[in-house]
Amino acid sequence: MRNSTNSSNRFPAATELEQLAKTVKYNGGALARLCGYATNAGRWRREFRRRFDCTPRTWLAEARIKEAKSRFLFGERPKDMIYDLGFVDLSHLSNSFKHADGHSPSQFINSQPPAHEC
């Protein structure tokens, strides 16, 4: 017998979704499966758009760049994070970052004020 629970009841909150996205290295299909939408991609996209006012792909791209920025601020080098964030290579990270932010990762890093040591 099929479970009649409404799938929107299983839809995670934004903070939980961010953690799940990290777990699956920002892979949209894997994220949908984790959230219980393995067999219904259309329902996943509709529910996602209803809750976040954007597509899963757009949200995941923004989440990856947000995570990259955070890691840059903690001094992590781009080449050390590319695979964790689901990028194929350094060029993929750089191009995605530039498209989203308008600046290259290097420009972003160099524009940050230096950290003060205690």
Q: What is the pLDDT of residues 31-43, one digit of tens each?
A: 999 998 888 889 9
pLDDT for 39: 85
Q: Which residue has the tokens 């991609």?
A: 41
Question: Residue 3 above 50 pLDDT?
Answer: no
CA-closest candidate to residue 82, choices 74, 33, 72: 72
What are the CA-CA distances from residue 43 to residues 6, 10, 40, 83, 110 (Å)? 11, 13, 5, 29, 42
Structural domains in the chain? 7-110 (1.10.10.60)
Rounded to 10°, the helix 56-73/90-101 angle is 100
pLDDT for 85: 95
Note the pTM of the prediction, 2 decimals: 0.83
Question: Residue 117 above 80 pLDDT?
Answer: no
